[in-house]
Amino acid sequence: MAEVKIAAEARTEFGKGAARRVRRANRVPAVIYGHGADPQHVTVNGHELLLALRTANVLIALQIDGKSELVIPKAVQRDPLKGFLEHVDLLSVKRGEKVTVEIPVTAEGELAPGGNLLEHVLNTLPVEAEATHIPEGVTVSVEGLEAGAAILAKDIELPKGTVLAVDEDAVVIQVVAAQIEAADEEGETEEAAAEGETAADEDAADEA
């Protein structure tokens, strides 16, 4: 995984007002944690950080006061309406260090004919990997799978040096039968019952 270099500046002002001023300057407040050190409060260029975060578990080389520090994103807060970055928590890492992260799972291929549906039980897969070699994600084939089939965590091939950080028998993807026929049958039953009630009402009216 390539490193993305982003310049950061130490943050000395705090509070909502200070945070708003930071964002107006197109910067994002961030906190760096890890290795038992005191948290570091910094600000980062908003546009550069937004581009970097397009890659899952991106490795960022923060340039702070002439020094470079490797970090990966751990928590990202966005404005719920406009989507801009409000705050980011970053985890400090070292080369050779193992970290636990979640990587995206992508399915490819066509299911067996019959209107079956693909259900992602886990959209991301927890794994342990070396901090500078975190996979961007994994792709699994669902070609020809029928209803009732499932792909477990242990069935997914991981890159060398990456191991599962979840129960190997955890279901990641499963194929379920479409419920269209069942819904149609239920609708027909309800319609028949309604027709029966109408006929009964008409008979009662005739007798009266």
CATH classification at residue 40:
2.40.240.10
Same domain? For 61 and 105 the reply is no
Q: In terms of Cα–Cα distance, which of 1, 122, 121, 123 is closest to 57?
A: 1
Nearest to 69 by CA among 90, 86, 87: 90
State which residues form the domain around 117. 100-177
Q: Are 141 and 109 in contact (CB under 8 A)?
A: yes
Same domain, 73 and 119: no
Taking only the tens place, the pLDDT of each residue in 40-51 is 999 999 999 999
Question: CB neighbours of 155 closer than 8 A, spacing ≥ 6?
Answer: 140, 172
89 belongs to a structural domain = yes
Is 135 within 8 Å of 157 (Cβ atoms)? no
Question: pLDDT, tens digit, for every residue of 92-134?
Answer: 999 899 999 999 999 999 999 888 899 999 999 999 999 999 9
Domain end point (choices 77, 93, 109)? 93
Which DSSP state fits 180? H
Domain count across the chain: 2
Q: What is this structure's pTM?
A: 0.73
